[in-house]
Amino acid sequence: MRIDIITIFPEMFEGPFNHSIVKRSQQKGVVEIHLHQLRDYSTNKHKNVDDAPFGGGAGMVMMIEPVANCIEKLKAERNYDSIIYTSPDGELLNQKKANNLSLLKNIIILCGHYKGIDERIREHYITEEISIGNYVLSGGELAAAVIADSVIRLIPGVLNDETSALSDSFQDDLVSPPTYTRPSDYKGLKVPEILLSGNEKVINQWKHEQSVERTKKRRPEMI
């Protein structure tokens, strides 16, 4: 998979993309992540990418020209399955959406900023808008990193144990059951005996029951 991210703060991705699973996915050649400085596509001598909104109002708006220049350059080089805009009023990111995106080959993520982007970008260039929650961030970089991480870990060859992603919370519309590891008895705090039984069928049934109960208690809207 190739992910192209358009941003005015590419340095914000150095931490999230240079560690752990995302870093290993790039080292394995399973994923390519390319960061594009939006200011490089501005024809303004000051490299501005924003301007005051027509009709007045507070804040600045990202201009159409630099964004269009960048997207059109990328599209001339390859076909893209999706061009995503990180927006608080977009479709809420969930596991199903991450699963669907993980099947794609090439995607672009445009990081929003200021009071948003010129509406013509949304109308003529963006194919889908994604939000990571019902709140507003200073910019779309954190949202883009979250989207990328949630998608990359699902791509075959990224995780050492590919079945791990299949047992994540929300894959079966339930939250994950409780998990334990050694020691089985820590100062009287014991692991449930059923997990030590070795009976896979019984253990799996217990895990499912725990997931259902946890979901009812913690995320009842999912039931």
- Give residue limits of the domains in the chain: 2-152, 167-222
pLDDT in the model for residue 168: 57
CATH class belonging to 167-222: mainly alpha
Write out the two tokens for 137: 């961030």
Burial class (CB in 10 A: 0-12, 13-18, 19+), 21: middle
User: If DSSP codes are grouped into helix, strand and coil, which group holds residue 194?
Assistant: helix
| Omega cis (within 30) before 183 | yes
Write out the two tokens for 34: 């390319």
CATH of domain 2-152: 3.40.1280.10
User: The whole model's pTM is what?
Assistant: 0.87
| pLDDT digits (tens), the chain, 223 positions | 999 999 999 999 999 999 999 999 999 999 999 999 999 999 999 999 999 999 998 899 999 999 999 999 999 999 999 999 999 999 999 999 999 999 999 999 999 988 889 999 999 999 999 999 999 999 999 999 999 999 999 999 998 665 555 555 566 789 999 999 999 999 999 999 999 999 999 999 999 999 999 999 998 988 8
User: If DSSP codes are grouped into helix, strand and coil, which group holds residue 95?
Assistant: helix
